Amino acid sequence: MENIRYIKTTNRERVINSFLSKSFIETIRYKKFEKLKDLLHDQGVYFQSKNKCEAILYLEQIINQKANGKFNVYTNHGLTMDLDFVNEVIEIRFIDCINAFLYQDNYFNTKAPKFGSNPNKKIREVLFRFCFEFKDGKIYKISTPSLFKKYSTEGINQN
């Protein structure tokens, strides 16, 4: 049986981290990248080697390049399994509304895409996954996980 490691946090830290995660999602969703300055830690390391400014420019570039013209956004949450410890993964999916209406009957009447599923190429869906570490009330690290699974609270005790 695998040992699962996690970072123990206080209730206050969990509230702050949740707020930071939600703020990050909204920043990406509405493409307000200047707001990342307030969310990211000045000494953080992002995407393995980028500093705060480089990370903001990188996120702006990849989101604008890949999700240009896509305004409908779904988000899912899961757990990373490829770090030294378990951490939350945020999945952000940008949907091309026109293609969803034209090529997939009842797309918006069906359930939201499942966490971990591949992007729907038929409707030109774009998918990003991010994993965070937090420090001093800021996002200290952003990475892109490769191993992850759907988040479930069954059998997990609050730390």
pLDDT tens figures, 77-108: 887 766 556 678 899 988 876 555 555 555 55
CATH of domain 11-145: 3.10.450
pLDDT of the residue at 137: 94
* Coil/strand/helix, residue 96: coil
Hey, where are the domains in the chain? 11-145
pLDDT tens figures, 32-54: 999 999 999 999 999 999 999 99
Are the CB atoms for 91 and 75 separated by under 8 Å? yes
* Coil/strand/helix, residue 7: coil
The pair of three-digit structure tokens given for residue 72, joined into one six-digit string? 């409908």
Q: pLDDT higher for 81 or 111?
A: 81
Comparing 12-16, 70-74, 99-103, the range with the smallest average pLDDT is 99-103
The pair of three-digit structure tokens given for residue 11, joined into one six-digit string? 């209730």
Whole-prediction pTM: 0.79
Are the CB atoms for 48 and 143 separated by under 8 Å? yes
